[in-house]
Structure 1
Amino acid sequence: MITLQLQQLDIPRGQRLLIHHLNWEQFEEIITELGESRAARIAYHQETLEIRMPTPEHEIDKEIISDIVKILLEELEIDCECFGSTTFKQAAMKSGIEPDQCFYIQNQTQMRGKRRIDLSIDPPPDLAIEVDVTSKTQMEAYLSLGVPELWIYARGELKIYTLNSGEYQQVTTSPTFPGFPLLDQITAVLTQTLTEGRSPALRAFRQHLRTLKYTL
């Protein structure tokens, strides 16, 4: 049997590495060895670990969608705590995930001042965002951890999922922003950034939102 060290592995951007039959202790060791200062993202579920390396396109879309959510929260005066790509893991469920972005909204009061997450006592994030999901491992990890709302943006389309009776159900409206046409607006802003740039597109979105504020 050949044993490889993590530093020997080179994952090209946009690709992923799957490691099967990995127990929880081995998963914890790999997380420790990878460290926190890295570009790679991980997803772990039922002894399968996925290590994926995002592309620049992925990072750009992730940041713009995150900015849209932050603008929505600010303009609607909804308090939140943003936990970015924090590692969420729970040994009891044999699952771990690092979202592209995540927010505590309904549970933001409970998470104020937190710098470490322990899912045995802390709730999972209320909203998680993923861009260009590459496998079912990621979605199953979110399901196991009980994340109530999951957005997945892939191939130019946003899909919204909500947790219902232990399963994810695709919906057309976000329960976090009821009545707001998220699917159309996010696509429109992302398209606008390609021709006008990020900052002008986000400023225009903020202004548009202010005209709708009292109708939401």
Structure 2
Amino acid sequence: MVTLQLKQIRVPPGQRIILEDVSWQVFEAILSELGEHRGSRVAYSQGTLEIMAPLPEHERCKVIIGDLVKALLDELDLNWESLGSTTFKRKDISAGIEPDDCFYIQNYKLMIGKDRIDLIVDPPPDLAIEIDVTSKTQISAYQALKVPEIWRYESKNLEISLLQGEQYVKSLISPTFPTFSITELIPRFVEMARTTGMSSALRAFRQSVRKQIQDS
């Protein structure tokens, strides 16, 4: 049996490693050793641990989509709490995930001022966002944690998945923003950010949202 220390494992940007038969205690130890201030992301489900190192393209998309969501929430005068890439985990179901970004919207009041999350008593995020540049999002942990809505952005497309029972189903409509064509709007302004810059894309997005609200 060969034993390696975590510091001996290096994950290049854009790559991932998958470790099998990882106990919950080892998963917790790995999280502790990796620390909170790191660039990698982890996903854990039923003994399988995935560690991913995102590319700059991944981070750029994550930032702009998160900013677009915040702008849309603000224009709709909706309250929200964003917990970014917080580690969400539950030992009793052997599941843990770190979304690229996440939002509490329906349950925002419950999360105001919360510095520690306990999913035994706290709800999961209402909306999780994943950027599938480095690898495909493994949704088994999201299913176990019962996150109701996931957005996955890949190759200029946005896919909405809604939890129905125990499974996710694809949807063209976001129940969080039912009057907006999210699968069209978000990719369009992500691409605009690539060509004209994030700030100008965000301003144009706000103008578009305001116009739709005024016309409705």
Q: Is TM (by shorter chain) over 0.5?
A: yes
Deviation at 1:29, TM superposition (A): 0.8
Match in the other structure for 1:126: 126
Specify the alignment match of 1:107 in structure 2: 107
Matched-pair identity in %: 51
Asked if residue 11 in structure 1 is aligned to residue 34 in structure 2, the reply is no
Q: What are the superposed Cα offsets for residues 170-195 of structure 1, whole Å, 9 maximum, x if unpaired?
A: 00010000010111111110121222
Amino acid at match of 1:80: W
User: For residue 34 of structure 1, what is the aligned residue in structure 2?
Assistant: 34
Match of 2:189 in 1: 189
Deviation of residue 207 (structure 1)?
1.0
Q: Structure 1 residue 135: deviation in Å?
A: 4.2
After the TM superposition, which of the residue ranges 127-136 and 198-207 deviates more from structure 2? Answer: 127-136
Shift of 1:22: 0.6
Cα deviation, residue 129, structure 1: 0.2
Q: Deviations over 1:2-22 (max 9, x none)?
A: 211111111110100100001
Q: Which portions of structure 1, spanning 4 or more consecutive aligned residues, are displaced by more than 4 angstroms?
A: none
Equivalents in 2 of 1:114, 1:24: separation in Å? 24
TM-score normalised over the length of structure 1: 0.97
Which whole-Å deviations, capped at 9, do the CAs of 1:82-116 have from their partners, x for residues lacking one?
Answer: 00000000011110000000000000011111011
CA distance in 2, matches of 1:97, 1:194: 28
Alignment-derived partner of residue 201 in structure 2: 201
The root-mean-square deviation of aligned C-alpha atoms, in Å, is 1.1
Unaligned runs of 5+ in 2: none
Letter in 1 for 2:65: I
Distance in 1, Cα, partners of 2:68 & 2:8: 38
Whole-Å Cα distance in 1 between the matches of residues 23 and 194 of structure 2? Answer: 43
TM-score between the two structures when normalised by the length of structure 2: 0.97
Question: 2:208 matched to 1:213?
Answer: no
Counting matched residue pairs gives: 215
Q: Distance in 2 between matches of 1:107 and 1:193?
A: 30
Deviation, structure 1 residue 23: 1.0
